[in-house]
A and B are shown apart, each in its own frame.
Chain A
């Protein structure tokens, strides 16, 4: 998933005794796996937390176009160019479904956009890393989409109906993207020496930032309990990270690439790999705007929004003129 460090609104999980009758009925529905729909009553904190989470996910899809778009004009074959264009088009489409899901909670896409551009809302840390060689496009599909799927598959069962339905559509497309990314990596890993070098370089740079996508360790995630009780967070950060590592290591071995972690080792007892933690200082720096591409990404989005103002205004003015002419004709 593309949402990290979502601060859950409220003061923590309430005991049954502390809940109002409305809150108790709401929690009963969630516990019975009945979806919450836009017109249903919901606690303000549930609504606020979901807006943060869905909004951050939507922003990530939009900003995520930039590192991949960086290679569309340089894609090495017509087929790769077409696949990448289709993928980036899908990401923009995901952004659209998610903004629509957020709108059902009473916030407009323009308000969310303003919050992104002012820095009030965030997007996933991963998109603040650069795509430097063609294998990065493979690594983004394989690792970044792979990590996103790991988080989004459980969210198909999330308690909020519109979010759950958006996730079901998105997961289908993300799985396809991940396979395409892995296919690029296969070609590179089986290719010339230069291509192998590109593939290894991409893995070296994207490995730890991909692990960071799941957010800090459970010990640090003080807000998770309420989000889990509300079923807007299903698994813990560490569970998902472990699952991702266990899935990815054999894939890297199959490619003949080396994961950049000397401590990586199969642990028979836990039935999973032991691995090194990413550098959390780097992670928090990226969140604070000090990643390699934060400034470029934000500038690109701000510029697109400002340069596009005359277009949005023009089309709106035209739509109003047409509506007025229609009324006049009737």
Chain B
């Protein structure tokens, strides 16, 4: 059980770590000052959640690894984030579309985790869900505003959705780890969240005047570690550089 729980916690923490990294790349470059503040705030929340998920993962593993050890000293094959969060930022529209597609999933996942049989998981979910309620409201409103904005903004948002939609399905995959989590009442079976997600997506995209692609094909391999995108290695080589170049230093 503890190996499955460790795997599950890494999936949660790696999602927030890698997405937080991506969002933080916007610092100082966003279209308007309010967005600089909002993006930094979102990245900050995600990194804070990472500290909690990976901190607990290290505790459950019981080999003395801290959240920092897990974040900075694992190689790409040990990362368990979904592929969606490692995709490049693209333009602002692609970044916010990616954020909404993730936020809408995370809101449902955390909602279920608040009822987790593991009190430590429930406690993290309780705290994180307050932040994510704000994230999903903002990313959803921005997707609607830009989808139903000008001709150009509409086209860019449709292109972002077309590009990102094939990465949505992976968030709802289930494997043996998920089965073990569901059986123990620790976490829901991700597949069970899909209908509510689809309903939310349909509502927001209708308001945004955007068309959800018919093809439900899903790229996968991130959350199992079977095969990440080429992007992850570059993220890690930036993120982990100081820890790797100066091993054992205290910062």
Contact = CB atoms under 8 A, between A and B. Distances in A.
A77 to B, nearest CB: 5
B242 A308 contact: no
Interface in B1-60: 17, 21, 24-25, 27-37, 40-41, 43-44, 47-48, 50-51, 54
A79 to B, nearest CB: 7
Contacts of A319: 145
Contacts of A66: 28
Contacts of A307: 29, 31, 91-92
A65 B33 CA distance: 11
A65 B251 contact: no
Contacts of B30: 304, 308
A308 B92 contact: yes
Nearest to B27: A69
Interface string A84-113: 011011001101100100000000010000
A246 B126 CA distance: 48
A88 B144 contact: no
A328 interface: no
A313 B37 contact: no
B143 to A, nearest CB: 11
B156 interface: yes
A310 to B, nearest CB: 5
Interface stretch (A148-156, A186-194, A270-278): A186-194
Contacts of B150: 310, 313-314, 317
A194 B242 CA distance: 11
A134 to B, nearest CB: 6
Interface stretch (B66-74, B112-120, B130-138, B194-202): B66-74
A195 interface: yes
Nearest to A80: B251
A74 B67 contact: no
Nearest to B235: A73
Classify chain B's interface size. Answer: 35 or more
A316 B146 CA distance: 9
Contact of B40 (A92, A134, A314): A92
B251 A187 contact: yes
A74 B239 contact: yes
Contacts of A80: 251
A285 interface: no
Contact of B51 (A76, A82, A89): A82
Contacts of B40: 85-86, 88-89, 92
B78 interface: no
Interface of B: 17, 21, 24-25, 27-37, 40-41, 43-44, 47-48, 50-51, 54, 67-68, 71-72, 91-93, 142, 144-146, 148-150, 152-154, 156, 238-239, 241-243, 246, 248-251
Given A75-B242, A194-B246, 6 more contacts: A65-B28, A88-B40, A92-B36, A95-B33, A311-B92, A311-B93
- 6 closest Cβ pairs, A-B complex: A308-B31, A314-B153, A314-B149, A69-B27, A65-B28, A89-B40
Interface of A: 62-63, 65-66, 68-69, 72-82, 85-86, 88-89, 92-93, 95-96, 99, 109, 134, 184, 187, 191-192, 194-195, 300, 303-305, 307-319, 321
14 contacts: A69-B24, A69-B29, A72-B24, A85-B40, A92-B37, A92-B40, A96-B37, A307-B91, A307-B92, A308-B32, A311-B31, A312-B32, A313-B152, A318-B149
